[in-house]
Amino acid sequence: MSSRPRALVTGAGIRLGRAMAVALAQDGFDLVLHYRSSQGPVQVTERMCAAHGAQVQIVQGDLSRVEDCSKVAEAAGVVDLLVNSAALYKAVPIEDITPQQWEQMQAVNTRAPFLLTQALLPGLRASKQPGGGCVVMLGDIGGQRPSPGYTHYSVSKAGLLMLTQALALELAPKVRVNAINPGTVLAPEYLSQEALTEIRDSIPAQRFGSPDDIVGALRYLVGAQYVTGQSINVDGGRSVGGPMEAG
């Protein structure tokens, strides 16, 4: 049996989920990798993590479904760290948002992190890691400053930030709960070069973020034994300067 600590990373097949999972493998964690539909990509993540000595388990689930949240948690078993990375992100004009779209956005972005944390509590509370069990939410600066066309998304991420604080208060001192709020990291592919340039020029740091920027915040929060209930904006200063257009 492995003596390495164990982490569940949701949405681990692509983008930031993959980057964080691989970084945790480098840092000595065994991994449970969740995916919804990116089966091929999550297998790539699996190989990347295994190359760093991690024991890796893959579990599929649609986190908009309560029963799938239970299935993922049951498959993960005992973990020391939960990284809630999976999310829905889609622009819909407010007059076109259907009740079903609203519910799905809240279910994946807010309810699923709650249900997974709740289901995994026994292991998180029993963790022998320095600082105890740890939960890291992947929020968004859009949960603090909304963008036009993303009402249901912004509300879901605002809820996630409040969930972070509420869980941190209730689960202390055995479990720490924090959030990372990315700005423009891995910009959406549908944006034109003109739109990308406009967004970049509005960012005080004058650049887009990289997965390494998010990984750095994750590593800090995993090791920061006296930090809980906090949200770290990793956005190059975008949340304090410039217009909040989508991207």
Helix (H), strand (E), coil (C) string for 72-95? HHHHHCCCCEEEECCCCCCCCCHH
Nearest residue to 141 (alpha-carbon basis) of 232, 204, 221:
232
Catalytic site residue 226? Answer: no
The answer as to whether 28 is a domain residue is yes
- 120 within a domain of the structure (yes/no): yes
Determine the distance from the C-alpha atom of residue 211 to the mean position of all C-alpha atoms in its chain, rounded to a whole number: 12
In a domain, 44, yes or no: yes
Residue 121 has a pLDDT of 98
Does residue 247 fall inside a structural domain?
no
Sign of the dihedral defined by the CA atoms of residues 16, 226, 6, 161, in that order: negative
- Residue 85 belongs to some domain of the structure: yes
Does residue 201 fall inside a structural domain? yes
Domain that holds residue 92: 6-240
Q: Of the listed 153, 190, 220, 226, which one is catalytic? A: 153
Give the residue among 233, 239, 232, 246 at the shortest CA–CA distance from 204. Answer: 239
Task: Tell me whether residue 246 is in a domain.
Answer: no
Rounded to two decimals, the pTM is 0.94
Give the per-residue pLDDT at 236.
94
pLDDT in tens, the chain (247 residues): 678 999 999 999 999 999 999 999 999 999 999 999 999 999 999 999 999 999 999 999 999 999 999 999 999 999 999 999 999 999 999 999 999 999 999 999 999 999 999 999 999 999 999 999 999 999 999 999 888 899 999 999 999 999 999 999 999 999 999 999 999 888 777 778 888 888 888 899 999 999 999 999 999 999 999 999 999 999 999 888 655 555 4
How far from the centroid of its chain's Cα atoms is residue 80's Cα? 16
Instruction: List the beta bridge partners of residue 31.
Output: 7, 56
C-beta of residue 63 within 8 angstroms of C-beta of residue 107:
yes
Instruction: List the helix and strand counts (H, then E) for the chain.
Output: 9, 7
Looking at residue 227, its pLDDT comes to 98
Q: Six-digit token pair at 16? A: 């930031």
Q: What's the total number of domains in the chain?
A: 1
